[in-house]
């Protein structure tokens, strides 16, 4: 059983293009994807028995063509669960009896809240928002299974249904091309396909944590908040940290040694939140113990270590991923969306900056032997974003490190990394603890405009016990940047930066381990980040000479 087949008969070129772009279905966990016309029915493609078939029809030329389309869909339904999308029932009303849904009227295009039924996803009733029209049903047969609803005019209407006796499902949404770009909608389609196959989620993923510092606490809170994940074990040498872990999950099992946690049969997935120079070693041990692995960033300090971890994960058939949490920064999501939509044309020059003028932290982050150096410590965040925003082959990397002020720590005080792509594009990342004046967080130049993200310094204002002013100034990196879109005519548009998605990484982790959906963050990409940082450190040691990326 392989993948998803999309069979279409569309007059709307925009919708056809949206559906036939492979990325949306692959992002939803359907791989491979086949996109074929519905007619001729003999076009069967490569998937002998697909996981599911989506059928989209928006016009019928005549009665003979309607009969041919009906026959093609009936034939598909005998091979695999077949889901009719959007206007298909309106174009082919003869199928209403087989689907068990009598279509009514279209709603106007509006923001729709799709609500999965418990039978679709027993662990989560998370609503999904999209903008679309709905083909509301007038009547739904009693034996039809309702998998999702939407509220319109204070009434709940079925918008995803399944008729087990005929092998046909129906989605009342999907006529708007933008719908298919939303991960939540794709997740719903994936769940619908699983439900039609009678597949249910296994038990919760039981998570154990090696190391419980500040970032470990962030993981723990997210794990406990996301349906399908459960914190069950912790290993940390500091009893005060263990006590904090117990405030999150009172029944957590504490292991005095990490080896005990790795040998715990109740642990399915291990989160490694130890210093960077130990990431690869713990990952290898956890994988050999049969656990899935979540690594803190950077993945490791060398490309060779990353490759060893990836090779071992493939051998033992376990998932490994790096917690690239800045991939979900709200200002970055705005930047990524606009670049992806072509708002500034082709992105050819990108600059990213983080820093200010202050003493570096005194913990292991500033110990180059443990952290890998400033390029690794900060670049594991920002170079990950750069490579995600500007994918493609890199010709070479050049870099420089400065040690001029803070001699009590071993990380560089100021670092610059420049990526030179084979097609001529360039990207630069600068980190500085010597920047009395800061550059913008983002400067993205495109052929049709630019996007700038300006750092801002926020203050938390309160009163002391005696009523005087208490003020806490946040570092610029602790706040989202103010984003502006610059047009060639000189106009500047302030961009709204929405609130960050809650626990996005961990929700994707649950989807991956429970349901096979791929994640936005992939370990192979995190390996490439390490390759760039390793080349940058080598270039800095060689006085900024260009170095190829491994």
Give yes or no: residues 413 and 425 share one domain: yes
Sign of CA dihedral 495, 498, 500, 504: negative
Range with the lowest mean pLDDT among 25-29, 208-212, 298-302, 347-351?
A: 25-29
**Does residue 11 have a pLDDT over 80?**
yes
What is the mean predicted confidence (pLDDT) over 431-437? 94
pLDDT band at 274 (very low <50, low <70, confident <90, very high): very high
Distance CA 535, CA 144 (A): 58
283 is a domain residue: yes
Q: What is the 3-state secondary structure (H, E, C) of 84-148?
A: EECCHHHHCHHHHHHHCEEEEEECCCEEEEEEECCCCCCCCCCCEEEEECCEEEEEECCCCEEEE
548 is a domain residue: no
266 is a domain residue: yes
Give yes or no: residues 417 and 476 share one domain: yes
Decide which of 196, 219, 245 is a domain's last residue: 196
Alpha helices (H) along 227-322: 239-248, 258-262, 279-288, 303-316
The beta strand positions in 410-491, using DSSP E, are 414-421, 426-432, 442-446, 449-454, 459-463, 469-473, 482-486
User: What's the pLDDT tens digit per position in 463-494?
Assistant: 888 888 888 887 777 788 999 999 999 999 99
Give yes or no: residues 214 and 110 share one domain: no
Give yes or no: residues 374 and 264 share one domain: no
User: What's the pLDDT tens digit per position in 212-238?
Assistant: 988 999 999 999 999 899 999 999 988
CATH number at residue 236: 3.40.50.720
- pLDDT value of residue 12: 87
**Does residue 198 have a pLDDT over 80?**
no
- pLDDT value of residue 541: 96
Q: Is 141 exposed, middle or buried (0-12, 13-18, 19+ CB in 10 A)?
A: middle
pLDDT band at 121 (very low <50, low <70, confident <90, very high): low
Q: How many CB atoms lie within 10 A of CB 546?
A: 14
Give yes or no: residues 237 and 136 share one domain: no
Distance CA 114, CA 325 (A): 27
Q: How many CB atoms lie within 10 A of CB 447?
A: 11
Give yes or no: residues 436 and 487 share one domain: yes
Give yes or no: residues 177 and 222 share one domain: no
384 is a domain residue: yes
User: What's the pLDDT tens digit per position in 149-189?
Assistant: 999 999 999 999 999 899 899 999 988 888 887 777 777 77
Decide which of 288, 323, 358 is a domain's last residue: 323
Nearest to 359 by CA among 321, 315, 409, 292: 409
216 is a domain residue: yes
End-to-end CA distance of the chain: 36
Q: Is the peptide bond before 32 cis (omega within 30 degrees of 0)?
A: yes
Give yes or no: residues 191 and 62 share one domain: yes
pLDDT band at 1 (very low <50, low <70, confident <90, very high): very low
Report the half-sphere exposure of 191 (CA within 13 A, side-chain side). Answer: 28
- pLDDT value of residue 197: 73
Q: Which DSSP symbol is given to 265? A: T
Top-confidence residue, 30 or 228: 228
Decide which of 260, 290, 323 is a domain's last residue: 323
What is the mean predicted confidence (pLDDT) over 57-73? 91
What is the mean predicted confidence (pLDDT) over 120-142? 81
316 is a domain residue: yes
Give yes or no: residues 467 and 363 share one domain: yes
Q: Is 237 exposed, middle or buried (0-12, 13-18, 19+ CB in 10 A)?
A: exposed
CATH number at residue 525: 3.30.360.10
Q: Rounded to two decimals, what is the model's pTM?
A: 0.84
CATH number at residue 79: 3.40.50.880
Give yes or no: residues 16 and 134 share one domain: yes
534 is a domain residue: yes
401 is a domain residue: yes
Range with the lowest mean pLDDT among 17-21, 220-224, 356-360?
A: 17-21
Residue found by looking up tokens 């002391």 in the block: 464
Q: How many CB atoms lie within 10 A of CB 206?
A: 19
User: What's the pLDDT tens digit per position in 377-409?
Assistant: 999 999 999 999 999 999 999 999 999 999 999
Give yes or no: residues 425 and 284 share one domain: no
Give yes or no: residues 340 and 372 share one domain: yes
Sign of CA dihedral 384, 389, 390, 393: positive
| 3 state SS of 530 | helix
User: Which of 52-56, 108-112, 295-299, 406-410 is modeled with the greatest confidence?
Assistant: 295-299
Specify the number of domains making up the chain: 3
Q: Which domain holds residue 413?
A: 326-541
């Amino acid at each position: 059983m392989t993948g998803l087949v999309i069979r279409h008969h569309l007059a709307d070129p925009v919708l056809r293009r949206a559906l036939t772009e492979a990325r949306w279905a692959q992002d939803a966990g359907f791989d491979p994807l086949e996109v074929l016309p519905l007619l001729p029915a003999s076009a069967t493609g490569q998937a002998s028995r697909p996981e599911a078939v989506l059928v989209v029809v928006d016009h019928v030329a005549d009665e003979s063509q309607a009969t041919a389309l009906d026959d093609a869909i009936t034939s598909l339904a005998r091979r695999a669960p077949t889901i009719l999308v959007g206007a298909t029932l309106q174009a082919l009303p003869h199928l209403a009896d087989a689907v068990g849904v009598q279509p009514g009227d279209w709603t106007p295009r509006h923001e729709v809240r799709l609500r999965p039924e418990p039978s679709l996803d027993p662990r989560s009733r998370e609503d999904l928002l999209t903008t679309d029209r709905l083909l509301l049903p007038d009547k739904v047969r009693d034996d039809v299974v309702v998998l999702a609803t939407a509220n319109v005019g204070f009434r709940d209407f079925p918008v995803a249904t399944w008729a087990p006796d005929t092998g046909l499902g129906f989605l009342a949404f999907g006529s708007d091309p933008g719908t298919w770009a939303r991960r939540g909608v794709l997740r719903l389609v994936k769940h619908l396909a699983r439900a039609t196959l009678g597949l249910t989620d296994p038990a919760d993923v039981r998570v154990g944590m090696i190391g419980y510092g500040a970032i470990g606490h962030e993981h723990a809170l997210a794990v406990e908040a996301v349906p399908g994940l459960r914190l069950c074990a912790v290993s940390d040498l500091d009893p005060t940290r263990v006590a904090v872990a117990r405030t999150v999950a009172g029944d957590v099992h504490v292991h005095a040694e990490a080896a005990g946690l790795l040998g715990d049969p109740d642990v399915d997935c291990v989160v490694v939140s130890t210093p960077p120079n130990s990431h690869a070693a713990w990952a290898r041990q956890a994988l050999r113990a049969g656990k899935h692995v979540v690594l803190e960033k950077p993945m490791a300090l060398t490309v060779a270590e990353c490759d060893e971890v990836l090779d071992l994960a493939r051998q033992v058939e376990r998932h490994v991923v790096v917690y690239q949490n800045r991939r979900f920064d709200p200002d970055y999501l705005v930047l990524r969306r606009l670049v992806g939509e072509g708002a500034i044309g082709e992105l050819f020059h990108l600059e990213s900056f983080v820093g200010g003028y202050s003493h570096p932290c005194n913990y292991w982050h500033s110990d180059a032997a443990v952290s890998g150096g400033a390029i690794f410590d900060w670049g594991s965040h920002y170079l990950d974003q750069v490579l995600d925003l500007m994918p493609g082959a890199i010709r070479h990397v050049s870099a420089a490190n400065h040690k001029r002020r803070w001699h009590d720590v071993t990380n560089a005080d100021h670092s610059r990394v420049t990526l030179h792509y084979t097609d001529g594009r360039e990207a630069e990342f600068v980190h500085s603890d010597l920047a009395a004046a800061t550059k913008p967080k983002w400067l993205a130049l495109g052929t049709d405009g630019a996007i700038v993200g300006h750092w801002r310094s926020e203050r938390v204002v309160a009163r002391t016990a005696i009523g005087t002013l208490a003020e806490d100034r946040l570092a610029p990196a602790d706040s989202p940047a103010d984003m502006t879109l610059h047009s060639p005519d000189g106009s500047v548009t302030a961009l709204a930066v929405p609130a960050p998605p809650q626990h996005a990484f961990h929700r994707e982790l649950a989807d991956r381990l429970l349901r096979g959906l791929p994640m936005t963050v992939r370990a192979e990409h995190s390996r490439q980040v390490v390759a760039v940082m390793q080349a940058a450190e080598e270039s800095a040691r060689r006085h900024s000479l260009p170095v190829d990326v491994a």
